[in-house]
Structure 1
């Protein structure tokens, strides 16, 4: 593996791409520690030592910003607005015929959808920035902290902070697109990878400090072993796929024969990826926010705040698992259309052995897809519950670093980036990273 990296840096164009990506990484991590204008960073450091909002929607946003949200920096919003905008556009493509037509136009239509995603990202960043400034000035971000994070409460200071954070999100969006064009891997995925990986050392050391057995070292190494086991499980399931064989009939065009080849349709066990976990986390943060901003002391508000403010309540866990399963089937239904796949196969003279072309093929693909989505959705629910199991076993008040969304993104992005480097090395007859 080290030899493969050395050969990669010896290749001029590949070395240029790797160094460019590393430069963007350094710039991103520097910006994640630059405080936004009007923020008293000394008070931020003081309040960070107290209990803070590290769960629910704010916890999810903090994870995607690499901890920059709680530090109220220029990149406090991270790339969460872009992720939200991409998800919204992807869902609207199924509902709005105009967007569906653009998607089918190929590269030109995709460029137009990307432009819409950028506009929506700016709007969402401005909206989330306004909400974050309001949250910082209340006790929602740092519960009961006696020091003010933003001493100046004027309209000008608020606008300056919102504009700065929105510009930070736009800069991250531009840097991600630069990595995609000139670097290695998908730029937005690389930024997500960095945001999550940057929190691992601090979270692991926090487990050691809060441990009680042998100075915390037993809990420390136990968490690492659990994390390695989870990585192995995620790699195994993410690479697992059901290959449906497809045979193409021979066709004579002029004097040449085309077709007659055999291939397969790879249906992944986890076809939905990490999206169901993100959807479920975002949706379950809504009841606690409603109870918080309502200011009511009624029984319903107390019940919502009690059962949905923490991730270890039975009601929260049951709803979390059910929503993950639901969104797994929902996302698979909108991302893979069996009827469209069957029509494309029929147009090109392809068929599944033993299955008639057309509607029977679409029904067979839907049947297989539903069968493999069940274990995939249950696997996502199991991975998402690992942080809660860690809280019960180790009695820690910090989120488990190897749980839920984080481990899925880390492994998925890592595998995809390694595959891209391997493909470029194989073009030059070099051995891959993993032999």
Structure 2
């Protein structure tokens, strides 16, 4: 009788140690999320978090993505997102700058070390920009009342401002360090993903309580939201698992005086190769105009102030135009990022070196061109689906009752993709670890 290898999860000392290290570091991260930024005005922040208008919905969305750190304006309010943004920017620069592309191709291992080094360096200015923008957005939403007291770059405010910014940047670097420790001593290669996962999932109980607080409509709203969640998760899993298998013919091998027959195989191309990256990048680009406009919302010149307010409302998740722009940018970035990743794989040359060939297609450049065409064709439904998932919370907010909007999705669109992807990848890694330690379900007899 076959038994599941998962029942032996706790028997392996090495796997048990990795799980305990992971849980311990995640618990430390959650404790750190309750440390507030110095100089925070808790009364203004509480009033801002309780608003039910468009500004309140924006705060609720930011709070959900940050794992509750924005509502408390924690030192970890930015999480690890500046690091991810810096990583995406460097990845996009590789095919644009020939010197970087040559470095990555000539020595992939050294190129990877170079990428990690400069990603950490670029994280600091990204975190600084994000911290200043986040504080300005909160101050502009709080109707003239400062969320962070004594914030400014002039006079007596300079030292407190520098202190706040240094603390927020240090919080981001601390979260990145915890993620790297998890990847090294806990579940391999899942550190940053689990840090984000823990923050998102931690908000589910409070969102459930917020929905059920409505005595008249709480239960049926919860049932509707759970049904939407289940259907969306099933659709995400279906699309994420989607593959187009391109037939490939590998040449036979000579074994002494004999020649083996050619081997028919397939090259799987993913429907959604980009994952959640287009969502994160689109959100970063979409919030940038709002961050810049927030500097001019208090300008003395009337037309400058009105223009800044218009840009802020358009790009601050407060208008229908935001949903449309967000959808278009997610679709566009999905195609762009997939093209970048696919070009880096260089399947045409790799198959040529192995002597493999797609039936009816010339080796080398024509093969790469053919595969690129196929990849773009199957990316279209994946990009449209990703765009739809991205804007679904905004679309549903127009038809759902106001009381349900704060916890509309229990998890946001990006949060859903992160949670589904992290759970799937973590289960795969744990299964691999179990097999490496001899706990293969096919070998365990009862």
The verdict on a shared fold, with TM-score over 0.5 as the criterion, is yes
Distance 1:161 1:422 in 2: 43
1:281 to 272, 276, 283: 283
Greater RCO, 1 or 2 (C-alpha within 8 Å, sep 6+): 2
Equivalent residue, structure 1, for 2:409: 400
Equivalent residue, structure 2, for 1:332: 338
Q: Does the CA contact (< 8 Å) of 2:77 and 2:168 recur in 1? A: yes
Q: Does the CA contact (< 8 Å) of 1:63 and 1:196 recur in 2? A: yes
Structure 1 residue 38, shift from structure 2 partner: 2.7
Equivalent residue, structure 2, for 1:24: 25
Give CA deviations for 1:355-385 in whole Å, capped at 9, x if unaligned: 2322332232122112101101111122112
Q: Does the CA contact (< 8 Å) of 2:49 and 2:56 recur in 1? A: no
Give CA deviations for 1:256-306 in whole Å, capped at 9, x if unaligned: 979944432221111221122223223233444454433365475565445
Equivalent residue, structure 2, for 1:155: 158
Q: Structure 1 pair 161/18, CA: closer, same or farther in 2 (3 Å)?
A: same
Q: Does the CA contact (< 8 Å) of 1:177 and 1:188 recur in 2? A: yes
Give CA deviations for 1:187-207 in whole Å, capped at 9, x if unaligned: 111111112212222223323
Give secondary structure in 2 for the equivalent of 1:9: coil
Equivalent residue, structure 2, for 1:348: 354
2:173 to 138, 153, 170: 170
Equivalent residue, structure 2, for 1:81: 82
Q: Structure 1 pair 19/261, CA: closer, same or farther in 2 (3 Å)?
A: farther
Give the TM-score normalised by the residue count of structure 1. Answer: 0.87
Q: Does the CA contact (< 8 Å) of 1:133 and 1:161 recur in 2? A: no
Equivalent residue, structure 1, for 2:185: 182
1:381 to 378, 384, 387: 387
Give CA deviations for 1:293-330 in whole Å, capped at 9, x if unaligned: 333654755654454433551x3333222222211111
Q: Does the CA contact (< 8 Å) of 2:36 and 2:72 recur in 1? A: yes
Q: Does the CA contact (< 8 Å) of 1:425 and 1:431 recur in 2? A: no
Give secondary structure in 2 for the equivalent of 1:95: coil
Higher mean C-alpha deviation, range 413-422 or range 303-312: 303-312
Q: Does the CA contact (< 8 Å) of 2:313 and 2:319 recur in 1? A: no
The alignment status of 1:420 with 2:429, answered yes or no, reads yes
Structure 1 residue 60, shift from structure 2 partner: 6.6
- Provide the aligned length of Structure 1 versus Structure 2: 423
Distance 1:319 1:42 in 2: 34
Q: Does the CA contact (< 8 Å) of 2:136 and 2:295 recur in 1? A: no
Equivalent residue, structure 2, for 1:194: 198
Q: Does the CA contact (< 8 Å) of 2:76 and 2:168 recur in 1? A: yes
Q: Structure 1 pair 305/173, CA: closer, same or farther in 2 (3 Å)?
A: closer
Q: Structure 1 pair 132/385, CA: closer, same or farther in 2 (3 Å)?
A: closer
Q: Structure 1 pair 157/288, CA: closer, same or farther in 2 (3 Å)?
A: closer
5+ residue gaps, structure 2: 152-156
Equivalent residue, structure 1, for 2:228: 226
5+ residue gaps, structure 1: none
1:293 to 289, 292, 295: 295
Equivalent residue, structure 1, for 2:154: none
Distance 1:253 1:4 in 2: 38
Q: Does the CA contact (< 8 Å) of 2:247 and 2:265 recur in 1? A: yes
Distance 2:118 2:29 in 1: 24
